[in-house]
Amino acid sequence: MATGVIFLGPPGSGKGTQAEILAKLLDIPHISTGEILRSAIANSTPLGQKAKGYMDQGELVPNELILDMVRERLHDQDIQKGWILDGFPRSVSQATFLDELLGEINYAAPCVIDLEVPHDVLIDRLLKRGRQDDTEETIRRRLEVYHEQTEPVTDYYRRKGNLHIVDGNRGTNEVTQSLKDIVQN
């Protein structure tokens, strides 16, 4: 059975790291919206060329274009055994779009994993990354925005019954084991 997995979790929760590990273990693609954008632009797809036009002007890529790119990516051959989506959906409208898309391509409901990490630990992790734009103030704001926009997505999947909460405030191997247990059941 093909496995579709969605990773939710705030910046610094370890979702990118865990998505990469799990994708290798399951031999399925780890798909992030950033990866979709970079790939579409690098391959000069029609959607990639449109996205590049926005990005070259310093503008955000419109939501509709991101949705079209996700649709295109989930029609690729390499997702036959499954996929891990990281960073998508970020809103309830994107989640309902994804549900409709999965119905179109006859894909089962995804396994949704929310990595939970205490706020102070997230701030500490993000400060230790040492990125120039990662000041405590900007980190706190990003976390606020994440919670405002993504909490409804968590509630959406909780109501649908396919949400799994995982304690992300543990060692990498412990978290990976929890994720394997969820996905392989």
Instruction: Render pLDDT for 39-82 as a digit per residue (tens, 0 to 9).
Output: 899 999 999 999 999 888 888 788 899 899 999 899 889 998 99
Tell me the backbone φ, ψ of residue 95, rounded to 5 degrees. -65, -40
The predicted model scores a pTM of 0.88
Q: E strands of 77-172, at which residues?
A: 82-86, 111-116, 163-167
Sheet holding 163-167, edge to edge: 30-32, 82-86, 3-8, 111-116, 163-167
Residue of 57, 87, 82, 71 lying closest to 5 (CA atoms): 82
User: Of 51, 95, 93, nearest to 85 (Cα)?
Assistant: 95
Q: What class has domain 3-31+82-183?
A: alpha beta
Q: Where are the domains of the chain?
A: 3-31+82-183
